[in-house]
Structure 1
């Protein structure tokens, strides 16, 4: 365990958990201890005992209903789950997809590892929220909405300390939390180094699922990658999902969670359409008609490969007028094309 030096060999797991969770500064210094505090104080769970609501399968009817509600996510994630499983199967890992409430909806595992996951209750229909089983990969990932690793005795419940879980949240096209992608190891000798490598694959797969969902939801619209996230608490590979959807009027009408964070948009839900140039471009020049006119001229020049006479005809103005406007707007030949032919 990264934060605490004591090990379960010398102290009971429950003693370590409760000591850290209830200490004056433990939860402030360690995200794991903060989760332990929630598990014990907020949810009333006992690390030495069974979960208040054990990770048991829900009814077939409820599982079917949950899968129906998450049909879009399940459909978009299926191929990514298959690919991820091919990468980790030989290391004794299973791949699992949960909904936003922590219920496992789908999974992949080898036949030889089935009994381990069955014994843990890590199968479709089981509730792995923090409120149900305390600190664990799926539940804590959903509670904190961030990628994480819960390695062995970082789990709250003693009965889960043989597990290693690598998780990443999945946000929908509207920025809303949809579920969690989990890879859990059925091997008690899983190392922290192996966890880090697998965690990178999990983050990448989760971000690809988000991008697939967003592109599908905005089919037919222009999709733009707006840049890299600057959140130090989240790995830089989230930048692959910093996407916005732009309609035929050059208005941004949709944005992924990563793009919303970069552009300062509301985190979830719909927002009023915004001009793409105003939202995405650096605010180094005046906006309004100045920006619109400059953009129109630059695009015309680009379409005509820098030919000023052709660009002027496209814009319906004279060549001399275009020169004057280019000068007023600060457009130069070197800025807009390798060569501007007249």
Structure 2
């Protein structure tokens, strides 16, 4: 760093200490004062980054092993989002020691020198004003940008950090995202600040859920749309409805309701739910996820409205849960985690997945029926995962393979079985699934001559390759799927009755998307898989709830991907939906959208670019509307 810059920096700190006004944030000014008065740091002395010893790092990591494990998925996702922008992610414990780290290996030596590395200590007492250290002291999310740092050696850096709190309300760690050479002013890191806040909240929620996996968790949000997908706040309750844990955002809300400081979490723990909300333990069961979010309203003691979701070991009132017979509890055991993301509050799907979870652990063949796009293959994969079978999951689309090739593809062939056959022979798809699961998709389209051969495989437990004289023993689990009505196909002679009974040891019908209660939460989940900050406008959610979805989940996913490509800010409006869907938009929604666009154009004196910015849409959205309104222009 140039000497003149360092001198100016030291002079600025001295002026602050003399009581002069500063353009820096109050957080930075207060930290500078602490650095001199409390830690006796000298701003004119550059202190090299401190990396703790390997033994010391092991001790810090061991003390925080569970948190590191829980946070790892969220940190991986956050690093994926910022990949290519040269950010470094640090997870530091409550003493400021970096216990987990994500960075580009190409810059490892430079990052290590800067202290953006595993084992670096970033406490204020050692490093002065910095993202991690100042976050630990204040307990708030913040950005320490370039000259905000106390030590001039850190002035090239921009560090944005957010605190992660334990369920008991005390600081557990700090998540920091830093740049070696940040572009532009401090405001350029606002997105980074949003991302670390969001990631820290997700880690806190995951930690609370893990700690209370056999207990009760109440999630609550101001709006119902994202309650079942990404709740704002969450608290844990014991069997009597008393507070035993919380996320930090919930701590702040409850402290405000109780009239105390969020920095005194002990005052909140142990309080009954009625101290914060106009309810009690006996009536909380009505907030179970199998009801529409909008029907789960909860009034706080200050009469503010919230939407809430209760989840726990069963749906009986809390004060009865500890006395339930053990057999009742086992009957309500949660399905295998492999089924976790296949429903988001639909009661029918929840019951179906509960049954599938039990069947998965057996060798019973499974037949899945339902319209195209309802998720039959994903369910088949979940059944395979939950089964614990060591072999592969082999999927065969019986409708996609030409009839002339399907026999060889399914059953394989012996050496020299036909012209062009592999000299050493080849295993078929059925044999490839040995020890695992064979998924026969569109089984209703299998040619009749092959149905007989498949029946023999299932009944004999062995497969005979084309041209072979001896069979290969098999240990396979068969899951098949179809969108056809197999009963009518059997009646017409197109499908063998005996094969049907071999396949349908357990038979499940997947509901169409238009019939599911969790359509809107599912849409939000799918949207956020394509863009983490995706939001659906009220008009879009209203349209999604009314649309028939003939293509089901597959159509919904494709629609969301297309719409997100047209959206600059990932907030979806009706204008971004495909034309084929827009033609089916109810007239009331069309008029509402049209009025909004025309009003924006009028308010912007016909300036399309300004109107697009006002509405938060791309200019092409405005132009498409104008073309639809005046097709001759």
TM over 0.5: yes
Look at both structures and tell me which one has the larger radius of gyration over its CA atoms. Answer: 2
Q: CA deviation at 1:269?
A: 4.7
What does the per-residue CA deviation read over 1:245-292, in whole Å, with 9 as the maximum and x for residues that have no partner? 12344343323333233223673359664433x134249xxxxxxx78
User: Given the superposition, is the C-alpha separation of residues 126 and 185 from structure 1 closer, same or farther in structure 2, using an over 3 Å criterion?
Assistant: same
Scaled by the length of structure 1, the TM-score of the pair is: 0.71
Q: Which residue of 1 aligns with 2:570?
A: none
Task: Describe how 1:78-89 pairs up with structure 2 within 5 A.
Answer: 78-89=72-83
Q: Which residue of 2 aligns with 1:36?
A: 32
Is it true that 1:171 corresponds to 2:165 in the alignment?
yes
What does the per-residue CA deviation read over 1:56-114, in whole Å, with 9 as the maximum and x for residues that have no partner? 21111111001000112111111111111111121111000000011111110112232
Is it true that 1:116 corresponds to 2:110 in the alignment?
yes
Q: What secondary structure sits across from 1:94 in the alignment?
A: strand
The one of 178, 189, 196 equivalent to 2:190 is: 196
Is it true that 1:186 corresponds to 2:183 in the alignment?
no
Aligned equivalents of 2:156, 2:268: Cα separation in 1? 45
Task: Describe how 1:28-177 pairs up with structure 2 within 5 A.
Answer: 30-51=26-47, 54-177=48-171
Q: Which residue of 2 aligns with 1:338?
A: none
Q: What secondary structure sits across from 2:15 in the alignment?
A: helix
Q: Which runs of 5+ in 1 are unaligned?
A: 1-7, 229-238, 284-290, 304-342
Q: Which residue of 2 aligns with 1:13?
A: 9
Q: CA deviation at 1:26?
A: 5.2
Q: CA deviation at 1:226?
A: 4.0
Q: CA deviation at 1:27?
A: 11
2:129–2:149 Cα contact (<8 Å) kept: yes
User: Given the superposition, is the C-alpha separation of residues 144 and 89 from structure 1 closer, same or farther in structure 2, using an over 3 Å criterion?
Assistant: same
2:254–2:268 Cα contact (<8 Å) kept: no
Q: Taking CA–CA contacts closer than 8 Å with sequence separation of 6 or more, which of the two structures ends up with the larger relative contact order?
A: 1
2:124–2:130 Cα contact (<8 Å) kept: yes
Task: Describe how 1:165-314 pairs up with structure 2 within 5 A.
Answer: 165-227=159-221, 240=231, 242-264=233-255, 267-269=264-266, 273-276=270-273, 278-282=274-278, 295=283
Q: What secondary structure sits across from 1:91 in the alignment?
A: coil
Q: Which runs of 5+ in 2 are unaligned?
A: 223-229, 292-633
Q: What secondary structure sits across from 2:265 in the alignment?
A: coil
Number of aligned pairs? 273
Aligned equivalents of 2:251, 2:275: Cα separation in 1? 11
- Comparing 240-249 with 151-160, greater Cα deviation is found at 240-249
User: Given the superposition, is the C-alpha separation of residues 249 and 9 from structure 1 closer, same or farther in structure 2, using an over 3 Å criterion?
Assistant: closer
Q: CA deviation at 1:183?
A: 0.3
2:245–2:269 Cα contact (<8 Å) kept: no
Structural RMSD (CA): 3.1
Aligned equivalents of 2:96, 2:233: Cα separation in 1? 25
1:94–1:108 Cα contact (<8 Å) kept: yes
Aligned equivalents of 1:33, 1:177: Cα separation in 2? 23
2:157–2:178 Cα contact (<8 Å) kept: yes
Aligned equivalents of 2:78, 2:281: Cα separation in 1? 45
Scaled by the length of structure 2, the TM-score of the pair is: 0.40
Aligned equivalents of 1:62, 1:247: Cα separation in 2? 37
- Comparing 121-130 with 27-36, greater Cα deviation is found at 27-36
